[in-house]
Amino acid sequence: MLKSLLCGTALLAVTAGAAHAQVSNNVVKIGVLNDRSGIYADLAGEGSAIAARMAAEEFGNKVTGAPIEIVVADHQNKADIAANLAREWVDAQNVDVVADVPNSAAALAVQGITKEKKRIFLMSGPGSTDLTGKACSPYGFQWTYDNHSMAAGTARAMVEQGKKNWYIVTADYAFGHSLEDETTKMVKELGGKVAGTVRHPLGTSDFSSFLLQAQASKADVIGLANAGGDTTNAVKQASEFGITQSGQSLAGLLLFISDVNALGLQAAQGLMLTTGFYHDMNDETRAWSKKFMEKNGGKAPTMVQAGVYSAVRHYLKAVEAVGSDDPDKVAAKMRETPVNDMFAKDAKIGPNGRMFHDMYLAQVKTPAESKGAWDYYKIVKTIPAQQAYLDPAQSGCSLVK
């Protein structure tokens, strides 16, 4: 009796093993690496982990018979900490996928590691175009936005309104520099000029000095090439110093819905911005966002968080289709399958790892227009994917032939 029971158990173990023999370590492990305590914690942070878990739940937390496990870590916006965490995940904990990683400096470090160790890297948070340009990787996918798409949306819209003379206030690290470059290129291409730039340290609380320099330049537009808390402080202080009232326009080159919420509509109204996602666009986005908000303490998803969901879901689809988590096979599958979910429709992934989906130009509502909590944006126009993102052939990525 005991013997047959043992035999049966052994047999079961063998067959169970066979069912997901193709999945390394019998588990698909996804590591959400982002800022969980600093200035980007609200736009990514735990919300990105929630989004990744929602994607896994859609598969019943199992793919090709192997359980899906989501782990999280805080990189504190430091590239060296991000690199150490990613290395430890890959070497000691058999993590198959690193996801999110806002802060381009951290993402560039992680891209180097995932490329060398052959692990899939799903970038939703970082904006630097280098990640799908000269630092591209066969395993790296940039999902939600990039600095070019931000410039293509907001800068183009402003220049087309006749605001051709720009001054750019830049966060002094990889992301800010890249956003400044992209915006400068776009403004010049459309016949405008950049009168000057000033670079501030990350996490500056007082912007008045930089704003005053911008004001003295007499530019039509002051572009803010920064993100998160830096942007909200700058917008708030620009209104305090009467910059917007005196006729200069302010352009948030990267503004998330969490920033608008922090500013309040009174201070943020009228700002133009580019976004890859807004929760109140159609029934699908509303349904998904409602579920998300229940899990996220009532806070609406940012485009970064929605992008994490979409990227993880697309990855899991590819694992399912290939029946394996082999990074080369999965990456190839991800590239050949169009992305179709509540975030993107029939979107294709370029040879450089860029996911091409439509972006949206939005304007922040006035307090009178807003009907309630998180009712913040008017979508002004849809920016087609081909216009929003750089042609892979011009990206400088060595994978493009």
Partner 1 sequence: MFDVLGVPPQVLFGQLLLGLINGSFYALLSLGLAVIFGMLNVINFAHGALYMIGAFVAWLLLNKLGLGYWWALGLSPLVVAAVGVVLEKTMLSRLYKLDHLYGLLLTFGLALIFEGAFRHLYGVSGQPYPIPDLLKGGQNLGFMFLPNYRGWVVVASLVVCLGTWFAIERTRLGAYLRAATENPVLVQAFGINVPVMITATYGFGVALAGLAGVLAAPIYQVSPLMGTNLIIVVFAVVVIGGMGSILGAILTGLGLGLLEGLTKVFYPEASNIVVFVVMAIVLLIKPAGLFGRER
Binding site residues, partner 1, CB under 8 A: 37-39, 41-43, 45, 172, 198-201, 203-206, 208-210, 212-213, 215-216, 228-229, 232-233, 236-237, 240-242, 246, 258-259, 261-264, 266-267, 299
Q: Say if CB 338 and CB 346 are below 8 A apart.
A: yes
Smallest distance, Å, CB 255 to partner 1?
Answer: 12
Q: Which is nearer to partner 1, 42 or 220 (CB)?
A: 42
Helix (H) or strand (E) segment spanning residue 236: helix 229-240
Smallest distance, Å, CB 209 to partner 1?
Answer: 4
Smallest distance, Å, CB 177 to partner 1?
Answer: 11
Smallest distance, Å, CB 35 to partner 1?
Answer: 9
Q: Which is nearer to partner 1, 226 or 395 (CB)?
A: 226
Q: Which is nearer to partner 1, 143 or 207 (CB)?
A: 207
Q: Which is nearer to partner 1, 268 or 397 (CB)?
A: 268
Q: Say if CB 357 and CB 339 are below 8 A apart.
A: yes
3-class secondary structure per residue, 250-306: EEECCCCHHHHHHHCHHHHCCCEEEECCCCCCCHHHHHHHHHHHHHCCCCCCCHHHH
Smallest distance, Å, CB 344 to partner 1?
Answer: 26
Q: Say if CB 69 and CB 28 are below 8 A apart.
A: yes
Structure tokens at 95: 């993590």
Smallest distance, Å, CB 111 to partner 1?
Answer: 25
Structure tokens at 115: 């490329």
Q: Which is nearer to partner 1, 32 or 322 (CB)?
A: 32
Question: How far apart are the C-alpha atoms of 128 and 131, rounded to whole Å?
Answer: 6
| DSSP letter (8 states) at residue 389 | S
Give Cα 386 to chain centroid, integer Å. Answer: 18
Q: Which is nearer to partner 1, 15 or 266 (CB)?
A: 266
- Tell me what percent of the chain is helix, strand and coil, each rounded to the nearest 5: 45, 20, 35
Which residue type sits at 285? T
